[in-house]
Chain A
Amino acid sequence: MDYLLQSIQGSAFSHWAQSSLYPIVVTLHAIGLAMLVGLLTVIDLRVLGFARQLPLPALRQFMNGAWIGFWINAASGAVLFSIDAKKDFYSGLFRVKLTVIAAGVILAKVIDSNVLSVSDAPAAIEPTARAKLLALASLLCWTGAIVSGRLLAYSTFGDVGAE
């Protein structure tokens, strides 16, 4: 495993990315975050009861923007991983981040197909308690992804807070 991580980190691509792409890649990662988490947060808060006037089915169209943000971040995240493969792979924060992202993606899919696709009027206005639980879990996952991702930037092999 270490050999694989070392060869990713030592590859010509990784060096090139680190020396000339790094500012652009972290900027793309922030833009993707704003699209993905921003739009999903609006949807989750609406499910939880904020801005009740917004019809839920119409909000589905904003899922596309969230998925564009997701793919921007999957791609930019892969480049960032290649720069710090070994540190990231052995970081607890990185593992937490990947786990909550996976959970968040599944929750977004479930909310999209089970909560937003309601066509009957009552459910479009007041989602069920189960739907609200899903939205709350989604918000927690994405908050966790932001926090673990940010702290990862300040960690050196796991000791968080040592700038």
Chain B
Amino acid sequence: MSAAAQAIAHPILYWIKYTPAAAFVRDSPWAFPALQCLHFIGMALLIGAVGTIDLRVLGVGRPLPIDSVMRLLPLALVGFGINLLSGALFFAHDPFQYAFNLSFRLKLFLIGAAGLNAIWFRLQQSRMESALAKMIAALSLGLWLGVIIAGRFIAFTAQP
């Protein structure tokens, strides 16, 4: 990281680290394990809903009308919301660890890519049986799989 970037990032990370929420997660013996439980529950909701939609577009469960599986989208958003909040608290409890962790950066990049991919998917709404829609669905499964892998590897990635 360049000196200029550090000069901007460090005060922000320092501020995040000493917010009351971050201090609470650090000081409470229960907060971190409880947030981990929530993060895994959120993951199951998000991946379950997105996975069902993607698999249906790819042809699994054909008798299911695609319009009906799209009703699972709110479930995916609830899961995403739980994980955004619990994930933000993980970050805040030790921002200097996460901000420079390569697995964490890869995870954020993959989530961003999966989000853009989901928007692209929405734009295909009237053409869900097209080859392009199938390709986007396969990409979505791959990206979320990558998110899980990168997320698990945060704990095993040494700081550069």
Contact = CB atoms under 8 A, between A and B. Distances in A.
Given A34-B44, A38-B44, A23 B152 contact: yes
A127 B48 CA distance: 21
B52 A42 contact: yes
Interface string A31-46: 1011101111110010
A31 B148 contact: yes
B148 A39 contact: no
5 contacts: A34-B48, A41-B44, A41-B45, A58-B61, A61-B60
Interface of A is mostly: helix
Contacts of B64: 54-55, 58-59
Contacts of B44: 33-34, 37-38, 41, 142, 146
B109 to A, nearest CB: 18
A160 interface: yes
Given A34-B48, A39-B52, A41-B48, A150 B29 contact: no
Given A34-B47, A42-B49, A149-B40, 20 more contacts: A23-B152, A30-B152, A31-B145, A31-B149, A34-B51, A35-B51, A37-B48, A38-B45, A38-B49, A39-B48, A40-B48, A42-B48, A51-B72, A53-B67, A55-B64, A146-B37, A147-B37, A150-B33, A161-B33, A162-B29
A34 to B, nearest CB: 4
Contacts of B69: 54
Interface of B: 29-30, 32-33, 36-37, 40-41, 43-49, 51-52, 55, 60-65, 67-69, 71-72, 75, 145, 148-149, 151-153, 155-156
